[in-house]
């Protein structure tokens, strides 16, 4: 069990100490993946004051991300191909054709992707020049670097991962087929992506005191990963080692992976690849933070795993969920958060009850 610090810590001090299993004044409290827009819209009608930021209203700990652009430059020209009262078929600025519902926040239906083979890939990679100055914010300067290094907020950097980006290029079905049909192309894409991430991020990583780096993958479904551990080991593991080796050599101590679904079969490979934190730990996919801590101990930092369905139900289901998970915060290295973006089926009053229960446990006013 970690000891309580004798003084109130800054957001940054608290995060760094707590995630290193050192004494802190209390555990950090975030909603790490945030809220659907329609959730906040619903809550405005149920008591969330108009014009008040939802994060400020609940007084979450403060963090900010360095805004680096890892997308194609130039972007593709967005085009609307078809439209009616319910949905719109469009090509977005990533070159992806999709059908988007107009009336709710939901995943679009992906219809087509820009990379169908090697020729498309050769054209696509021309849009990913890591030296393009437009990848950095217009305010990038020594002044901004000093701000990031001196702020009391937690500072992070988020980047697209290897499977996640390859899926953006090719689409899930084509990507899975090409692991076998043209494995050389997949090797080339993932090797390129490691180099691109390292070189694009270099100026930030070498100058900014980053508290964490997050890698987005979303490479699992409810029963397991979308590729076998063997394919992960061949195509992704060497590139994870390259990327995390670079980050660690520049002082980054916490490297997170964001993937939905059940990732138990590849957790050990993430660890071998230099990752030491996983989130959001979806309960519906069988992920259990208590069991993960029992298995991995302090080798694996954890974020999330509060069942959004329990918050939607409220009452005893909510209290039971919080009681079981919040005990892990006594040791450190686990940040309480909902197991995905908070969905619109969660009533405002239930979420208030959830936040108040956590704050009571943490001794927050």
Q: What's the rounded mean pLDDT across residues 37-44? A: 95
**What is the arithmetic mean of pLDDT over 341-353?**
96
Average pLDDT (81-98) is 95
pTM of the predicted protein model = 0.95
CA–CA dist 286, 21 (Å, integer): 26
The average pLDDT across 66-88 equals: 96
Which pLDDT belongs to residue 107? 79
Averaged pLDDT of the chain:
96
Query: Residue 106 contacts by C-beta under 8 Å, 6 or more apart in sequence?
Result: none
Domain over 11-72+113-362 is classified CATH 3.60.10.10:
no
> At CA 262, angle to CA 259 and CA 265, rounded to 5?
100
Residue 1 confidence (pLDDT) above 90:
no
> Average pLDDT for residues 283-293, to the nearest whole number?
98
List every span in the chain annotated with CATH 3.20.20.210.
11-72+113-362
Neighbours of 184 (CB within 10 A): 9
pLDDT in the model for residue 6: 64
Q: In whole angstroms, give the CA distance from residue 33 to residue 243.
A: 23
**Rounded Cα–Cα distance for residues 358 and 364 (Å):** 8
Give the pLDDT band of residue 7 (cuts 50, 70, 90). confident
* pLDDT score recorded for residue 55: 97
Mean pLDDT of 68-86: 96
Q: What is the largest CA-CA distance in the chain?
A: 61
| pLDDT over 70 at 210, yes or no | yes
Report the 10 Å Cβ neighbour count for 78: 11
Order of strands across the sheet that contains 109-112: 79-83, 87-91, 97-101, 109-112
What pLDDT is attached to residue 3? 56
Whether the bond into 74 is cis, omega within 30 of 0 = yes
What value does the mean pLDDT take over residues 16-45? 96
| CA proximity to 243, closest of 288, 290, 196, 278 | 196
- What is the mean pLDDT of the segment spanning 92-116? 90
Q: pLDDT tens, 131-168?
A: 999 999 999 999 999 999 999 999 999 999 999 999 99
Q: Identify the sign of the CA torsion 163, 183, 246, 146.
A: negative
What value does the mean pLDDT take over residues 188-208?
Answer: 98
């Amino acid at each position: 069990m970690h000891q309580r610090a004798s003084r109130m810590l800054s957001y940054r001090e608290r995060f760094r100490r707590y995630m290193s299993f050192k004494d802190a004044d209390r555990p950090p409290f975030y909603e790490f993946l945030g809220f659907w827009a329609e959730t906040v819209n619903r809550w405005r009608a149920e008591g969330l004051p108009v014009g008040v930021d939802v994060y400020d209203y609940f007084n979450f700990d403060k963090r900010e991300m360095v805004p680096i652009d890892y997308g194609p430059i130039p972007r593709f020209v967005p085009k609307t191909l078809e439209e009616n009262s319910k949905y719109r078929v469009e090509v977005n600025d990533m070159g992806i054709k999709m059908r988007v519902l107009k009336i709710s926040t939901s995943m679009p239906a992906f219809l087509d992707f820009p990379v169908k083979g090697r020729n498309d890939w050769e054209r696509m990679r021309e849009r990913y020049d890591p030296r393009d100055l437009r990848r950095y914010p217009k305010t990038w300067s020594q002044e901004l670097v000093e701000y990031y290094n001196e702020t009391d907020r937690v500072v992070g950097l988020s980047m697209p991962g290897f499977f996640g980006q390859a899926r953006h290029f090719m689409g899930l079905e084509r990507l899975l087929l090409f692991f076998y049909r043209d494995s050389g192309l997949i090797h080339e894409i993932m090797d390129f992506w490691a180099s691109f991430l390292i070189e694009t991020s270099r100026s930030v990583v070498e100058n900014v005191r980053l508290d964490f780096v997050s890698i987005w993958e979303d490479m699992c479904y409810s029963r397991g990963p979308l590729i076998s551990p063997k394919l992960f080991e061949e195509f992704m593991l060497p590139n994870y080692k390259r990327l995390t080796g670079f980050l660690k050599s520049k002082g980054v101590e916490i490297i997170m992976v964001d993937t939905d679904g059940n990732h138990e079969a590849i957790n050990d490979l993430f660890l071998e690849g230099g990752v030491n934190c996983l989130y959001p730990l979806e309960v519906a996919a069988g992920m259990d933070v208590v069991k993960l801590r029992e298995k991995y101990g302090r080798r694996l930092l954890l974020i999330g795993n509060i069942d959004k369905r329990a918050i939607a139900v409220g009452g005893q289901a909510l209290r039971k969920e919080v009681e079981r998970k919040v005990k892990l915060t006594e040791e450190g290295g686990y940040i309480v958060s909902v197991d995905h973006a908070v969905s619109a089926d969660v009533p405002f009053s239930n979420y208030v009850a959830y936040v108040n229960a956590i704050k009571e446990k943490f001794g927050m006013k």
